[in-house]
Chains A and B, each alone.
Chain A
Amino acid sequence: MTGSSVAKQLVDAIIANLPEPAPGLRPVHTMGVGVDGYFMASDVARNYCIAEHFRGHRVEVSVRFSNGFGGPKQHDGWSDVRGMATRFHLQGGVKDGPATDLIATTLGEFFARNVEDFFEFTKIARQHPVQRESPWRKILDMLQLKEPVRDPYPKETTNTDAGALSYANRYRFAQLAVFEAAQIGAPVSYTRATYHAIHTFMVEDPHGVRRPVRFSWQPVAGVRTTDPTATPVDKYLRHELEERLRRWPARFMLMMTIGEAGDALDDPTKPWSARRVRVVMGTLTLTNLAKDQVADGERISFNPWRLVPGIEPSGDPILHARRCAYEVSREMRGGCPFIRSQADAK
């Protein structure tokens, strides 16, 4: 378990590397939007997990979509990891009552295996001033059949690309996440991206069998990104979502992949084989933007450890670090406290 002092250092390390810190807001995934909806478990979900939200009745949910960048500037059209944090309101669906969270991003893997890796990453992947690569340098890259350095976006003066690349070049475990993050693009809609809860959890079935699993949300509308060669638009995702939900609900399927012996259970940098059994656990239906965006878009505080009987955390050190780090971050911005159980809620 990562202590609160380490968690504070983790949050401080993130804040120290922001281009423009935003006191009172989330240090990363700062810009977001809250959405209301409900989740219906599939017929087979209860065979794999006894958790309350997989029993088959309608469960009210609050979802927060976000851009990964930290800071108050909104750049929807920039290539960036997006977040989808989902709260399942249990036992009657009261918003401040017992709940469980599922936190996911569009990145399929993480770039650090543990807290030590993460600290080193924050040291190497610092914000650096960026400028357009000279045409001659680009030609030299082309002659070497080398991936060109991305042109900075309009108004982009610093980024962490060079540092992240340097880290990945040194540590092979980080290469997949860094490479995928560099290629990730911008979704045309928050509802047109796949979101992965990168950590392994242990789920328990009605017979007491425990299985290692990883969850992901797959958009029913399909995956689509914007044209990377077009000038990016800074603000469109919230309006697009509002307009979309005004016309028709948006849906996601919750897929659960079951790991096998030998799969990386405690290492979020390692993907599992696509050959693992995938189970449809249910359908999320998003109906409207939350009316109170301060409460449901900003103050709402998620935590990957807000779990219910039937789902347990794995030994993943990053997952363990996130528990306290999310709480430290919440306290710093005055978000809603971490309630894990019904007893806590009372």
Chain B
Amino acid sequence: MPSDESWLDRFVSGLPETRVFQRLASWLLVPYWAWRTPVKPLPGGPHPSIQPGDNIQCMMNLIMPLKDKSPIGRAKAALAIAQNKDAIYAGLDNVGTVHFARFVIVGDNICMFSVYDGDFTNYIRDFIATIGGVFNAVVKLVEGGDAVTPCEHNVEAFIQWVHERDLYQVPDTATDLLRDQEALNGDKASFGHDDLRLLPRKVVLQLRANANVSLGSGYRAYPGFSAAQVRNQLGIGW
């Protein structure tokens, strides 16, 4: 950028964009720093909070690897959803806390993304009661799913299984990632001897430990309102 740059300055500034450096970083530097400064994967799901607004429009982001990693396996997953359309709507209308739920196939994974109101365990528990059959149809196609199906007979294990697959929600503000890591390590101090310039490394190492994450807590057009409030305000009842 400035005119007093030497050729060496320009070369070094451009290094991070070169393929050589990127390979060096991914093959050597990242594993080295992961070994030298290990990080624990941050837990998934919404941050616990007692504030009402934080318990409305919560996100669940599940990425579940399919057992059958072929077009046939993906088709089976698609069919499991299509065959249970009525059951899914009946569950949504009866539970009454879901803004939306989406099933998406990405690669050899079936993903379930939903936005719901209230407590996570109650959300899953309600759905086991109302559409447990849909969960069973999907989860039996997923790696590790056999251990928790039928979900009606394995309620607590099933809730834990889902929670473990719910993605870590990277905070909206970059430095809150540091606070999450400190909290996980039992460090609640207001003061420290930190090095803010190490934030990139901490992000990289967390994404190494947690390959799939949700970016931010979600961007909402009408934050602070439950599905029931929206439906009530629109006069469409529940």
A residues with a Cβ closer than 8 A to B are 132, 135, 138-139, 141-147, 149, 151-154, 165, 168-173, 175-176, 178-180, 229-232, 258, 260-263, 271, 273-278
Contact = CB atoms under 8 A, between A and B. Distances in A.
Contacts of A139: 12, 15
B99 to A, nearest CB: 13
A135 B50 contact: no
B2 A152 contact: yes
A277 to B, nearest CB: 4
Given A171-B190, A273-B217, A277-B53, A147 B197 contact: yes
A138 B12 contact: yes
7 contacts: A135-B9, A144-B198, A146-B197, A146-B201, A153-B2, A176-B176, A275-B224
B87 interface: no
B220 to A, nearest CB: 7
B237 interface: no
Consensus secondary structure, chain A interface: loop
B200 A146 contact: yes
Interface residues of B, number: 54
Contact of A231 (B3, B6, B53): B3
B25 interface: yes
B225 interface: yes
Contacts of B1: 151, 153, 229-232
Contacts of B220: 274-275
B145 to A, nearest CB: 32
A276 to B, nearest CB: 5
A147 to B, nearest CB: 4
Nearest to B6: A135
Contact of B223 (A138, A175, A230, A278): A278
A258 B198 CA distance: 34
Nearest to B36: A144
A39 B201 CA distance: 45
B203 to A, nearest CB: 9
Contacts, number: 135
Interface stretch (B61-69, B148-156, B167-175): B167-175
Nearest to A108: B173
Given A139-B15, A170-B192, A132 B51 contact: no
B4 A132 contact: yes
B57 interface: yes
B2 A154 contact: yes
A143 B29 contact: yes
Given A146-B197, A146-B201, 4 more contacts: A142-B16, A170-B193, A172-B189, A175-B178
A258 B179 CA distance: 24
A154 B5 CA distance: 10
A179 B191 contact: no
Contacts of A144: 33, 198, 201
A261 B51 contact: yes
B113 to A, nearest CB: 17
Nearest to A227: B1
B224 A277 contact: yes
Contacts of B6: 135
A142 B33 CA distance: 12
Interface in B188-238: 189-201, 204, 216-220, 223-225
B197 A176 contact: no
Nearest to A173: B190
A170 B191 CA distance: 6
A339 B114 CA distance: 52
A286 B210 CA distance: 46
Contact of A275 (B12, B29, B198, B217): B217
Given A139-B12, A146-B198, A273-B53, A231 B175 contact: no
Given A142-B15, A145-B204, A263-B51, A275 B57 contact: yes
Contacts of A230: 1
A143 B24 CA distance: 9
Contacts of B192: 169-170, 172
A145 B25 contact: yes
A141 B12 CA distance: 11
A75 to B, nearest CB: 13
A176 B223 contact: no
B219 A274 contact: yes
A171 B16 CA distance: 30
